[in-house]
Amino acid sequence: MAKRIFLIFAKQFIFLMLFFQLLRLTFLVYNYNDLFNANFWEILKVFWHSIYLDISAASYIISLPFILIFFSSLIKWKGIYIINLWYNYLIIFVSIVISIGELPLYNEWRVKMNFKAISYLSQPSEVYRSAKWTEVFFGLIAIFAFTFLAIYLYRKYIHERFVVNKRNYMYSFIFLVLTPVLIALGIRGGYQPIPVHQSDVYFSKNNFLNLAAVNSQWNVVASVAKNMRYKTSNPFLFYKLSDARKTVDSLYSTEKDTTLYILKTNRPNIVLLLLESYSADLIHSIGGYDSISPNIDKLISEGFVFSNTVGSGGLSDQGILAVLCGYPALSNVIITNQLDKYVKVPCIARDLQQQGYFTSFMYGGQLSYGNIKGLIYYNKFDEITEGKDFPSNIPQGRLGVHDEYMLDAFLNKINGYRQPFFSAAFTLSSHNPYDQPFPEVFNWGGDAQKFINSAYYSDSCIGDFFKKAKKQSWYNNTLFILVADHSHNSPRNWMIYSPEYRHVPMILFGNVLKPEYKGKRYELPCSQTDLAATLLSQLGLKHDKYHWSINLFNSYSKSFAYYAFDGGLGWIEPDNFIVYDKSQEVYYSVKYQSKNDSIRINRNGKSYLEVLFQEYLDF
């Protein structure tokens, strides 16, 4: 038996390496549409370059079997074999759950399974409602089928049954001395000074292939471990903190505190429509496809549009925090899930309440997703309506009440409110699973076909809402604001990190706009976070507490936009931008007009993220 321990160990290690490649092949096949821009040899390279992280992951996993195999050469106890067998069963099952679970995740978020995705599993009902039933059904089948196949192969070719053999202490000693060294080298990726890193498997300009090469199990563990550290340490240290703060202060300093007033009144009613997953690619008048959002296009032609607005984050909780609180999305962490953090940020609803506004928030689904509910309730909206509060006879989809019925209920609620009011409604039909009660109009768009049809439905509901709203007595004294919570993949298939992907609509509309500003545009880069300072300035209210928000109607304000993604940031200024991933030490995309521009926007963007994250830690 002692002589065979090396073979037993090697067989388990090889099994893990082949097992990881099978899961990787599944990822590639499931997302085959992303392979059309890659040649065959480049796709094959995925399996070679992936070996670095696969070895590291396998080395971590096999650490416990090493101990069990060693003791099995010394102790004649069947239980050691049983423990090893069930440990491998568990590894197989968990690995398959991670890999199968990230298939629809990548399709929707364009990322692999990570800490942020796992954190949303604390609301499994929301995950279930937002997933297509086919994804859930076939996902469960795939998990059990893959698990059965892997366990069968493991038992047939890898597992060693208990047999009683003579001990050989020399072999046991060599195994004990040599194997930990090999495991340690495997974990850290060799004897080089810097341990293996996720970016070590990156080899292509096609980021999908790079992500495919990343070991999913290694990535999850690394993501969780990093986020545990992020609770106490700033991973985005680029400069001396005092210098970074000076840079950020200079971005928000203005020569004069002045405002161009575009409203007829400083106490209008305010209706905020938060548009779920609404990419600018859906709207023709700000650079998107024609005919998908004709009603929003009409509002833009008669209203005022910020045509280069950037979504601060990639998720609803990030977008709503940015819009309502003027607070930017953070890389790697979720503020709304942390009570001790989100209570530190301001909210325009609270400020408007102090000015006598009645405040309300309506959503047709469950606000528990991303703990948006906690944020809304903490800020004491006078009336909060979510999916469970709607009558049971109102038609609903998997995610909740369809937009047409939600907006009808929203309009009826508004009719009963005292004025002035600040009323927000959050649409949901343009969110997966796209089960709106409306025939599909567009038969193009590839993977985004269902999404663009759902957006067309939401747009039609918005059109109906405004037709009815115009007949109400409060309409002429109401400012309507339409802004997306975040963007979404479109038929243009932008990379999720790219500035084009983060482009979202932000529109002001209504008869309270001065005639000379109807049909006008603000063309400079700006952010969702800038809505807070801009709106409060129009109302003649102070906005000092919204220190991450810019009054866009102050002609002395500087023009820039920041957005977050896991591990990095995007930074946009007029005619320049960077997309930088600190976790991988890589620039995904850059555009510089000059060397001085390069130095400036790197300093501005990196200082911004450093100071923002430090503030989060200091909360």
**The three-state (H, E, C) secondary structure of 101-170, written as one string:** HHHHHHHHHCCCCCHHHHHHHHCHHHHHHHCCHHHHHHHHHHHHHHHHHHHHHHHHHCCCCCCCCCCCHH
User: Which carries the bigger pLDDT value, residue 228 or residue 130?
Assistant: 228
Q: Are residues 435 and 398 in the same domain?
A: yes
Residues 399-426: what's their mean pLDDT?
97
d(CA 252, CA 202): 37
The answer as to whether 261 is a domain residue is no
The answer for residues whose C-beta is within 8 angstroms of residue 527's C-beta and 6 or more apart is 309, 310, 312, 322, 328, 550, 561, 562, 563
The answer as to whether 258 is a domain residue is no
Residues 523-540: what's their mean pLDDT?
98
Strand partners, 483: 274, 506
Q: Are residues 224 and 365 in the same domain?
A: no
d(CA 209, CA 205): 8
At residue 427, what are phi and psi to the nearest 5 degrees? -75, 165
Residues 211-222: what's their mean pLDDT?
89
pLDDT digits (tens, 9 = 90+) for 481-512: 999 999 999 999 999 999 999 999 999 999 99
Q: Are residues 614 and 536 in the same domain?
A: no
The answer as to whether 257 is a domain residue is no
Please determine, for residue 3, whether its predicted confidence score (pLDDT) is greater than 80: no
Gyration radius from the chain CA atoms? 27
Model confidence at 319, in pLDDT bands (50, 70, 90)? very high
Our CA angle for 52, 53, 59, nearest 5°, is 100
Q: From the CB of residue 232, how many other CB atoms can be counted at a distance below 10 Å? A: 7
pLDDT reported for residue 8: 87
Q: Are residues 543 and 578 in the same domain?
A: no
Q: Are residues 544 and 404 in the same domain?
A: yes
C-alpha closest to that of 174 among 10, 8, 3, 1: 3
Percent helix, strand, coil in the chain, to 5, is 50, 10, 35
Q: Are residues 519 and 593 in the same domain?
A: no
Q: Specify the pTM.
A: 0.79
User: Which residue range is the domain that position 409 belongs to?
Assistant: 268-557
The total number of structural domains in the chain stands at 3
Strand partners, 422: 270, 359
pLDDT reported for residue 166: 65
The answer as to whether 59 is a domain residue is yes
Contacts 24+ apart (CB under 8 A), 149-156: 150/19, 150/22, 150/92, 150/96, 151/89, 151/92, 153/15, 154/15, 154/88, 154/89, 154/92, 155/85
pLDDT reported for residue 4: 80
Please determine, for residue 50, whether its predicted confidence score (pLDDT) is greater than 80: yes
Q: From the CB of residue 596, how many other CB atoms can be counted at a distance below 10 Å? A: 9
Please determine, for residue 92, whether its predicted confidence score (pLDDT) is greater than 90: yes
Amino acid (one-letter) located at 17: M
pLDDT digits (tens, 9 = 90+) for 564-608: 998 899 999 999 999 999 988 899 999 999 999 999 999 999 999
pLDDT reported for residue 123: 59
Greatest CA span in the chain, whole angstroms? 95
The answer as to whether 259 is a domain residue is no
d(CA 295, CA 232): 47
Q: Are residues 457 and 548 in the same domain?
A: yes
d(CA 560, CA 576): 10
Contacts 24+ apart (CB under 8 A), 585-592: 585/199, 586/199, 586/202, 588/207, 588/495, 588/497, 588/498, 589/495, 589/497, 589/498, 589/499
pLDDT reported for residue 121: 61
Strand partners, 304: 508, 520
Q: Select, from the ranges 160-164, 267-271, 447-451, the one with the highest average predicted confidence (pLDDT).
A: 267-271
The answer as to whether 126 is a domain residue is yes
Q: Are residues 545 and 565 in the same domain?
A: no
pLDDT digits (tens, 9 = 90+) for 327-345: 999 988 888 877 778 889 9
Q: Are residues 409 and 308 in the same domain?
A: yes
- DSSP-derived letter for residue 493 is -
Where do we find the tokens 């600040």? 422
- Supply the CATH number for residue 337's domain: 3.40.720.10
The answer as to whether 196 is a domain residue is yes
Q: Are residues 402 and 493 in the same domain?
A: yes
Cβ–Cβ under 8 Å, residues 132 and 451: no
Strand partners, 589: 579
* Percent of the chain residues topping a pLDDT of 90: 70
pLDDT digits (tens, 9 = 90+) for 336-374: 877 778 889 999 999 999 999 999 999 999 887 777 888
Cβ–Cβ under 8 Å, residues 400 and 358: no
The answer as to whether 214 is a domain residue is yes
d(CA 186, CA 179): 10
- Of 18-22, 90-94, 113-117, the poorest mean pLDDT is in 113-117
pLDDT reported for residue 106: 81
Q: Are residues 301 and 421 in the same domain?
A: yes
Tell me the two tokens of residue 184.
């340690």
d(CA 271, CA 228): 39
What is the pairing mode between strands 358-363 and 421-426?
parallel
Cβ–Cβ under 8 Å, residues 499 and 570: yes
pLDDT digits (tens, 9 = 90+) for 56-84: 999 999 999 999 888 888 888 888 889 99
User: Which carries the bigger pLDDT value, residue 225 or residue 187?
Assistant: 187
Please determine, for residue 163, whether its predicted confidence score (pLDDT) is greater than 60: no
Residues 419-441: what's their mean pLDDT?
95
Q: Are residues 435 and 582 in the same domain?
A: no
d(CA 220, CA 116): 10
Distances from the Cα of 397 to the Cαs of 49, 70, 166, 389, in angstroms? 43, 56, 66, 15
3-state secondary structure of 490: coil
pLDDT reported for residue 327: 98
Average pLDDT, the chain: 91
DSSP assignment of 21-73 equals: HHHHHHHHHHTGGGGTTS-HHHHHHHHHHTHHHHHHHHHHHTHHHHHHHHHHT
